[in-house]
A and B are shown apart, each in its own frame.
Chain A
Amino acid sequence: MIVSHNEIVAMVYKAFTGMHREVGEADVIATMVAELQMAGLDGVRHFNNASPYILTESDTPIDIIDQNAKAMHLDLHGSSLACHLPTIIDYALEKMGDSAHFYIYLQNCHNRWLAYSELVGLAAKGYACLAKWDNGSVPKHTLFTLNQGFVYPDLYFFDKAQSNYNTNDMVIEIATQNFDIEHDIQHFDRKISTDELFETHQRAWKEGIYVDDEQWAILKKTAAAILVENSEASSRGAGGV
Chain B
Amino acid sequence: MNMVYTNNANNKSIDVKPPSLGTGFRTRDVIMDAQRLGAMHQTRISFVRTLLRKIDKEKWTLSTHLWDLDENGYGKVIYRLHTPEHLYHLVVFCNELADEERNDRVIAQKWDVTFGLVFGEISGELLDNLQANVPLQEAGRNSNMLMVLARANKSVRVFDHIVSSLAAGQQPDLDVLAQVGYILRTTAVYGNGKFGIYDFKPLDHSADFDQSFRAQMCAVYLLREFSLDWVDYLAQKKGSSKAVALHPEIKRYLGIGNATGLGMAPYLINHPCVVDQWLTTREEALQATLTCQIEPKETAHFASLIKRAIQHFGEIVTINEQQIKLNETVVTELMVLQNNLMTTINHYVTWAEFLQAHHDLSLESQEVIISCLMELYPERVDAFQEKINADESLSLPKGKVIQDLIDVLERHYQWAINIDFSQPENSHWFWYRSVDKEEPRLGVRGQEMGADRELALDIARQANKLYFALKQVNAQQLISEFILNQPKYRSIARRVWTMGHKQLGDIQMNVLHKDALPMHLLRCKLSMFGATKFDPRSDRWVRITLFQGAPLFAEVHSDEWLFPLLPDLSTEQGGLTHDRIA
Contacts and interface: CB of A to CB of B under 8 A. Distances in A.
Interface of A: 1-7, 14, 17-18, 20, 22-27, 61-62, 64, 83-84, 86-88, 90-91, 93-94, 96-98, 123-127, 148-152, 176, 194-195, 197-198, 205-208, 224-231, 233-235, 237-241
Nearest to A23: B487
B441 A234 contact: yes
A239 B442 contact: yes
A56 B545 CA distance: 49
Given A87-B483, A195-B2, A6 B435 contact: no
Interface stretch (B3-11, B296-304, B330-338, B352-360): B3-11
- Overall SS of chain B's interface: loop
Contacts of B398: 90, 93-94
B539 interface: yes
Given A150-B2, A151-B3, A239 B540 contact: yes
B502 to A, nearest CB: 17
A166 B200 CA distance: 42
10 contacts: A7-B196, A17-B456, A61-B484, A64-B484, A98-B11, A124-B5, A226-B432, A228-B450, A230-B434, A231-B449
A150 B5 contact: yes
B262 interface: yes
Interface stretch (B187-195, B375-383, B553-561): B187-195
A136 B51 CA distance: 56
Given A124-B5, A126-B10, A4 B259 contact: no
A73 to B, nearest CB: 14
Contact of A1 (B9, B141, B447, B488): B141
A126 B198 CA distance: 31
A93 B11 contact: yes
- Chain B: number of interface residues, binned into ranges: 35 or more
B345 to A, nearest CB: 43
Contacts, number: 188
B202 interface: yes
A176 B5 contact: no
Nearest to A88: B484
Nearest to A18: B453
B490 A149 contact: no
Interface of B: 1-11, 104-107, 141, 144, 192-202, 259, 261-262, 394, 396, 398-399, 432-436, 438-443, 447-450, 452-453, 455-456, 478, 480-481, 483-488, 490-491, 494, 537-541
Given A6-B194, A227-B453, A237 B441 contact: yes
B496 to A, nearest CB: 14
A240 B104 contact: yes
Given A23-B488, A228-B450, A237 B443 contact: yes
A238 B105 contact: yes
Contacts of A88: 484
A231 B448 CA distance: 9
Contact of B538 (A87, A151, A239): A239
Given A227-B453, A237-B448, A87 B434 contact: no
Given A6-B193, A23-B488, A238 B439 contact: yes
Nearest to B494: A25
A1 B449 CA distance: 35
A10 to B, nearest CB: 8
B386 to A, nearest CB: 23
A58 B199 CA distance: 36
B541 A240 contact: yes
The 7 A-B residue pairs with the shortest CB-CB distance, nearest first, are: A239-B540, A4-B193, A6-B193, A237-B441, A228-B450, A126-B9, A198-B2
Given A93-B398, A228-B453, A3 B7 contact: no
A230 to B, nearest CB: 6
A196 B120 CA distance: 27
A17 B457 CA distance: 12
B540 A94 contact: no
A239 B144 contact: no
Contacts of B144: 2, 4, 207-208
Given A23-B488, A123-B5, A229-B449, A241 B194 contact: no
B435 A229 contact: yes
Given A227-B438, A228-B433, A229-B435, A87 B484 contact: yes
